[in-house]
Structure 1
Amino acid sequence: MKNKIHMKQYYDLIFITNLPSFYKIKLYNEIALQKKILVIYTGDTAKERNKNFFNGTPNFRYYYLQGNIIKKIYFTIQILLKLNYNHLVLGGWDSLIMWIANFFSSKRKNGVIIESTCYESSTKGLKYIIKQIFLSHTSIAFTCGSPHSRLIKKLKFKGKIIETGGVGLINCQKRPHYIHKNTIKNFLYVGRLVDVKNIEFLIQEFNQFPESNLTIVGEGKLESYLKSISNNNITFLGHINNEELPNIYKTHDVFILPSLSETWGLVVEEALNNGLPVIVSNRVGCHENLIKENYNGFVYAVNDHDMFKKYIKQITKPEIYNRLVYNISNIDFQQQAYKQISSFVNLS
């Protein structure tokens, strides 16, 4: 419902965010079933994202800011001064529009979504001071998980912290059935082919495991290079639509995310939801909240080749693998989604 904004309307929540990613749209749709919301998209670009990333049908009121930065700031101020709303939820602190909105709105109404973690976000020097200034006019911090909450605490945030348990809603599948396997050899990576994802490390490792297969789903600037250093046991599938990904997950045994930095890791949720144990680096933001060591996966120290090899060997043992898969089959993924939705719906 892309409508002109009537300045006398009331909204329970106004969200200001950059782009309409599919997992955010699903979250907003669920919130809109219980609350009257408006989503304002600032129109900031997202590099190296395919069109499928933005798929989704919004069932809520939304508006794209148009024109240059001056026009966008002017319209944002007009909205905040003239609309009647209970809560303003900002999608971060990295853009000028977010700063303008934060200080033109009442502090008691202001909340900010924190997708940065204590792993990669600076809490020293000028950046530390700038973040503290932003937070000084915010009453609620919506943190995705534990490392995100620790970041806010390091910044000495004095408001309310609500841990949402995610960055949006995945295309949730039915609870996976437990299927016993005697052979575990098909590994999977899903994501962009860019430096921060650390796929070269992954390829180096699987070049040493010719008896195992690695499938890489995604596209990006490193695709040609990564193909050039890969052995025959490594297959590149390119871009796969989100709707088709469950079929890919279900034809593999283990999911791997070796990122150097990952503020959350939605693909980890997707993999678990499709019944796959996971191996991720300790720089993947969701690992503290979603992965229980030796229960549904393993977490290794980033770029630690020996530790990585150890977990590959462990997870290919049927007695270990099947225990992990059985545990995953008992996870309530709907409850995880409910936690995110209720974080916003239950605001007083």
Structure 2
Amino acid sequence: MAPYRTKQFEEIVKINHFDLSVYYIGRSVKTRDWKVENSKLFKEYHLTGYFKLGNHYLLYKDVKRVVLENDIFLLGGYNSTAMFIFLFYIKKYHKKAIFVMDGISPKKLAESSSIKFLVKSKFIRRMDGYFVNGQVSRKYLIKNFDVNPDMIFNQYLTVDVDRINEIVKGSLNESKIDKINKFVILYSGRLLPRKRVSDLLTAVSISGIKNKIDILIVGSGNELTNIRRLGKELQLNISFIGFIENQDELFEAYGLANCLVLPSENDPWGLVVNEAEAAHLPVIVSDACGCALDLVKSGINGYTYESKNTNELSEKIIQVYNAVENGTNMGAESFKIISKWKFSDSAQSFKNLIEKLGS
């Protein structure tokens, strides 16, 4: 369960009047324990699993019954045996299957010839349609699996753009951190090695303007201790806010920032960029993030840079700092971009996919 997924599905139901049932198979993720209410617009179930392996189970109860009771299926990935069990019955009973993909790092666009690829290929090529996020997913499917481009529809996976805009434009709660009078760079997300938050700290330290910059870090994870230590070594001004369960409070934190940086070395998408743009922020995103191809326009609303290249990241930070200080409204351009990437766009795209399946 995730807040953005719930709102996406609710918009799909409202616009298209579908009878939707969602079956959860994954267990909760410790660093993503969002506060998510059950939806009143679609039905939600947790499938009973047996023989746990990692985040999923090997076998699930009632898959055949679920397939017989429904007509069209959205299968979210291929990393669980449940997806293959579902696909077996879907094809057996001549139902329709749609592959759902939230993105992939541009660094992983090229698949290698391996057993994993063969299994993945067998699964993906049996789909009737594809509901995927952005250019990166589209390129991945066409390049590696020869998927018919006419059956690929943009998922427009996003966040509540209007709600974030409303919160950020309203009164801000500044009690969580010391009053900030400098240029504030925000990192929001899990603190994991692959997120490379240390690159952000290094880039600021060599920028020549580190005394004019405050860093605001929102999130938690096993890299927190290392990041704190590095910040002290580099003598940076950093404010830490842990994981914020309440989404409204999270978006208030965005209102304290002047820019968001997402320095990941491997990120399928990066919904924090959607959030930042809804909050009217310029963004600096590594080229290893799936969203970079769609949501970042170089020199317009921010920049992309080569992942792990702290010198280039430092240069981009300076460029955004100078642009903002000189009155260039890159944040307004961010909002223009994300205003065309809403739940309503997702719902319309899904409607087009369903119509295409029936044609």
Q: TM-score, normalised by structure 1?
A: 0.84
Larger RCO (alpha carbons 8 Å, 6+ apart) = 2
Letter in 2 for 1:66: T
1:253 aligned to which of 228, 237, 258: 258
**2:101 matched to 1:114?**
yes
Corresponding residue for residue 5 of structure 2: 24
- Shift of the 150–108 alpha-carbon distance from structure 1 to 2, 3 Å rule, reads farther
Q: Tell me, yes or no, if the aligned pair for 1:253 and 1:276 is still in contact at 8 Å.
A: yes
Root mean square deviation, CA, Å: 2.4
Q: Tell me, yes or no, if the aligned pair for 2:195 and 2:266 is still in contact at 8 Å.
A: yes
Separation of aligned partners in 2, 1:110 and 1:121:
23
1:132 aligned to which of 121, 142, 158: 121
For residue 7 of structure 2, give the secondary structure of its aligned residue in structure 1. helix
Separation of aligned partners in 1, 2:50 and 2:162:
34
Corresponding residue for residue 267 of structure 1: 272
1:345 aligned to which of 348, 351, 356: 351
Higher mean displacement: 122-131 or 21-30: 122-131
Separation of aligned partners in 2, 1:77 and 1:169:
35
1:38 aligned to which of 3, 21, 30: 21
**How many angstroms does 1:166 deviate by?**
2.1
**How many angstroms does 1:239 deviate by?**
1.8
Structure 1 gaps, min length 5: 1-19, 178-182
1:162 aligned to which of 141, 153, 163: 153
For residue 35 of structure 1, give the secondary structure of its aligned residue in structure 2. coil
Structure 2 gaps, min length 5: 52-56, 170-180
Separation of aligned partners in 2, 1:131 and 1:140:
16
Corresponding residue for residue 123 of structure 1: 111
Aligned residues: percent identity?
24
Pairing 1:114-263 to 2, within 5 Å after superposition: 114-117=101-104, 118-120=106-108, 123-126=111-114, 127-159=116-148, 160-166=151-157, 172-174=163-165, 185-208=183-206, 209-230=210-231, 231-240=235-244, 241-263=246-268
Higher mean displacement: 292-301 or 197-206: 197-206
Separation of aligned partners in 2, 1:303 and 1:158:
32
Letter in 2 for 1:235: S
Separation of aligned partners in 2, 1:56 and 1:334:
26
Q: Deviations over 1:219-253 (max 9, x none)?
A: 11111121111134112111223211221111110
Separation of aligned partners in 2, 1:269 and 1:66:
34
Separation of aligned partners in 2, 1:191 and 1:312:
19
Separation of aligned partners in 1, 2:108 and 2:160:
24
Separation of aligned partners in 2, 1:204 and 1:142:
38
For residue 300 of structure 2, give the secondary structure of its aligned residue in structure 1. coil
Q: Tell me, yes or no, if the aligned pair for 1:112 and 1:140 is still in contact at 8 Å.
A: yes
Separation of aligned partners in 1, 2:90 and 2:159:
25
For residue 84 of structure 2, give the secondary structure of its aligned residue in structure 1. helix
